[in-house]
Amino acid sequence: MATRRRRGEDGISFEHRGPCRDPRRHRTCPGLWRGEITLGYTGDGRRTRRKVSGQTKAAVIDKLRDLHTQLDKGVTPKAGYVHYTVRQAAQDWLATGLDGRSAKTITKNQNVLEPILKVIGARKLRELTAADVRRALAQMAAGYSTAAVSMGHLALKRAIRHAEANDLISRNVATLADTPNGRDGRPSKSLTLDQAVAVITAARTLPVLELRPGLKDVRRPAELMHAYIVLSLLCGIRTEEARALRWAHVDLDGDPETRPPVPPHIAVWRSVRAHGETKTERSRRTLGLPAAAVQALRGWSDRQAGERLAAGDGWQDTGLVFTNHHGIALDAGNVRKMFKRVCAAAGAGEGWTPRELRTTFVSLLSHQGVSIEEIARLAGHASARTTEIVYRRELRPVITTGAEIMDELFTAT
């Protein structure tokens, strides 16, 4: 008489799909060997089981042994995840592991993951090794910048960690691989003082900017880019902060009667990021406006008022400073195209982007002897270390403050 197996033991049996020809060993019987393992019990006392099958009893025993190995490592075997691939893990992370992130952030992670998934995407996640990760990163590094490879490696680690948190694997092998150096990316650069003056002059004197047909905003007045360039260059605000700036946060008059007097200023409190938050906490800052920026913003305010009247009922009152002809926020692609045309007209070439107005701001301040700490405060960086790392090409290469003071002291004696 067969004895009932004890609680928690594995069960192995043969499932017939026809007449039994070998009652003892089932060698010639049509059917499959089945095995099951008890994973635990539900609140109402029912068993939670995981089943496996195979053509032979030995194959079923091997699969049950593998299930026990996973349990010993803290991995909970789940039905349907035996062939779970790296690409599926990445897709699950992108779909459910980035809650609260903007669509742009999700797309960016998807783009930097794709070169890696082309190499190891079909690999079973349970069988993935650190050598596989290094091979995928090395192939990506051959065609992408170091920054892109770093972002891709980070995204892969986070995707596998998401699977690890769901008890699908026991360890994250992506953390065992180092990030290789990729190709040299586009170096940061800044306008010289003469080039900056030429760009401002060109922006003020150019006629109506006409972009190619098919864009959201085909014709824009020169006052728009003149105000945009002057504000970005003279105040060092980010492009995302400029496009989110509202007139309610712009004071072109100030209050000279108070003590101390309040100069014209802008409150950089928003950006086009998700939820309107600025990049860092210290990015929320209030900046005084130079006279040239006040003049440029007044000119654009008058021109925008004319566009509001011309649009009539089609105008959308968003309150934004920089808008298209319907009052909607400027498209980043259109800003880049208009800025390139201004730079070309100024003789600086077309290889410039609006974000390099900010690097020019840092460069001009540094070459005038402004300290890194003060530049970091004006630029809204989290720390002066960020300024040193990100803008190292624009910072003054030689610190001369000490030498100048010592010259004054010892020359006099």
Q: Are 136 and 116 in contact (CB under 8 A)?
A: yes
**358 is a catalytic site residue:** yes
Among 147, 149, 162, 160, residue whose Cα is nearest residue 114: 149
What is the phi/psi pair of residue 314, to 5°?
-80, -5
**391 is a catalytic site residue:** yes
CB atoms within 10 A of CB 348: 19
CA 31 to CA 19: how far, in whole Å? Answer: 10
∠ CA(144), CA(149), CA(154), 5° rounding? 160
What is the distance of C-alpha 302 from the center of its chain? 37
Which of the following is catalytic: 50, 157, 325, 381? 381
Which of the following is catalytic: 81, 144, 228, 391? 391
Structure tokens at 45: 């006392």
**285 is a catalytic site residue:** no
H helical segments located in 346-371: 356-367
- Longest CA span, the chain: 114
Specify the residue for token string 């010259």. 407
Half-sphere exposure of 186 (CA within 13 A, CB side): 7
Which of the following is catalytic: 57, 279, 303, 336? 279
CA 391 to CA 358: how far, in whole Å? Answer: 10
Rg of the chain over all Cα atoms, to the nearest angstrom: 32
**226 is a catalytic site residue:** no
End-to-end CA distance of the chain: 112
Which of the following is catalytic: 162, 220, 238, 270? 238
CA 168 to CA 125: how far, in whole Å? Answer: 9
Structure tokens at 174: 């992506």
**238 is a catalytic site residue:** yes
Total residue count of the chain as it appears in this document: 413
| Residues noted as catalytic | 238, 279, 358, 381, 391
